Amino acid sequence: MPTPDLPRLQAAYTVILNALGTELPDLVLQRTPERAARALCDLAAGYRTDPAQIVQRIDQDLDDGAQRSCSGDGLVAVRSLGFVSLCRDHLLPFSGCASIAYQARRAADSLTLLEVGSLAELVRVLGRRLQLPELLALDLVRVLAQVQGVAGVLVRVRVEQVCLGHIGAGYRGAIVSEEASGTLRDIGVAGRAQKLLD
Ligand SMILES: [Zn+2]
């Protein structure tokens, strides 16, 4: 995974501060570029983890016996996994939460259930990239669709703190985006999954 070039980022922030044309105290000019560079790296930290490795680990956990006896049609919902992200259009942060419903794949009498921690990690990794709410929902669906134990997935991303650039463009309130794949693209099953996320 790529390592960010901190000195170049720092130099770029120095140029930005000077280009603002504002008389800034020396302390700001000395310290802010470094802090801003580190903050940007932190908000883009998701690029340093390959989501395929998380999928691999989830599959491995399932192989190691995470199957549980469960009745019903295997619909599971995990709600409100928080994230902070970086707007692709304005390079400004936005935050929200992702809710995930999936239909576990049935094998004999068992259903494969995913660890909530792995789902939260996936949201964190894909969130800390250059994103838009709708892209994050799509990325999560694409990655989760690769998990062996998942027959279908529905992701709802709700962004409460829209980036300042979007507010300037006239947006107000929350942005909600939803994507689905597999069995949860079926209207009947998806309807039940959506109720779990409401
Ligand atoms: Zn934006």
pTM above 0.75, yes or no: yes
Q: Is residue 184 part of a domain?
A: yes
Residues near 79 by Cβ (< 8 Å), separated by ≥ 6?
97, 99, 197
Domain annotation covers residue 100:
yes
Classify 74 in phi/psi space as left (phi over 0), alpha (psi -120 to 50) or beta: left
| Angle, CA 97 vertex, CA 88 and CA 95 arms, to 5° | 45
Report the pLDDT value the prediction gives residue 158, as an integer from 0 to 100: 93
- For residue 11, the CA-to-ligand 1 centroid distance in Å is 24
CA distance 127 to 170: 23
How many angstroms is it from 37 CA to the middle of ligand 1? 19
Instruction: Say whether both 15 and 58 belong to one domain.
Output: no
CA distance linking residue 14 with residue 176, whole number of Å: 36
Residue 167 pLDDT class (50, 70, 90 cuts) = confident
Residues 102 and 34 in one domain: no
Verify that 58 and 39 share a domain, yes or no.
Answer: no
**pLDDT surpassing 80 at residue 62:** no
Locate 117 and state its tokens. Answer: 């921690």
Residue 1 counted as domain residue = no
* pLDDT over 90 (residue 161): no
Structure confidence at residue 175 (pLDDT): 87
Query: Lowest-confidence range among 8-12, 142-146, 148-152?
Result: 148-152
Digit-coded pLDDT (tens) for 80-138: 999 999 999 999 999 999 999 999 887 766 777 888 899 999 999 999 999 998 899 99
Average pLDDT across the chain, whole number: 87
Domain assignment of residue 26, given as a range: 6-43
Question: Contact 113/68 with Cβ under 8 angstroms?
Answer: yes
State pLDDT tens for residues 124-146. Answer: 999 999 999 889 999 999 999 99
Tell how far the Cα of 107 is from the centroid of ligand 1, in angstroms.
44
Please give the distance, rounded to the nearest whole angstrom, from the Cα atom of residue 158 to the centre of ligand 1: 15
DSSP characters over 55-114: HHHHHHHHHTT-EEE--TT-EEEEEEEEEEEEETTTS-EEEEEEEEEEEEPEETTEEE--
Q: How confident is the model at residue 65 (pLDDT cuts 50, 70, 90)?
A: low
pLDDT at 68 over 90: no
- Residue 127: the pLDDT is 97
91 CA → ligand 1 middle, Å? 7
pLDDT category at 164 given cuts 50, 70, 90 is confident
Return the residue matching tokens 């942005």.
175
Q: pLDDT value at position 194?
A: 75
Ligand 1 geometric centre to CA of 24 (Å)? 26
Same domain for 39 and 67, yes or no, is no
Q: How far is the CA of 87 from the centre of ligand 1 (A)?
A: 5
Give the CATH number, domain containing residue 152: 3.30.1130.10
Q: How remote is the CA of residue 163 from the centroid of ligand 1, in Å?
A: 5
Same domain, 24 and 82: no
Angle value at C-alpha 37, between 32 and 43, nearest 5 degrees: 125
pLDDT for position 153: 94
Any domain includes 140: yes
Whether 66 has a pLDDT exceeding 70, the answer reads: no
Distance from the alpha carbon of residue 62 to the mean position of ligand 1, in angstroms: 38
Q: How far is the CA of 132 from the centre of ligand 1 (A)?
A: 8
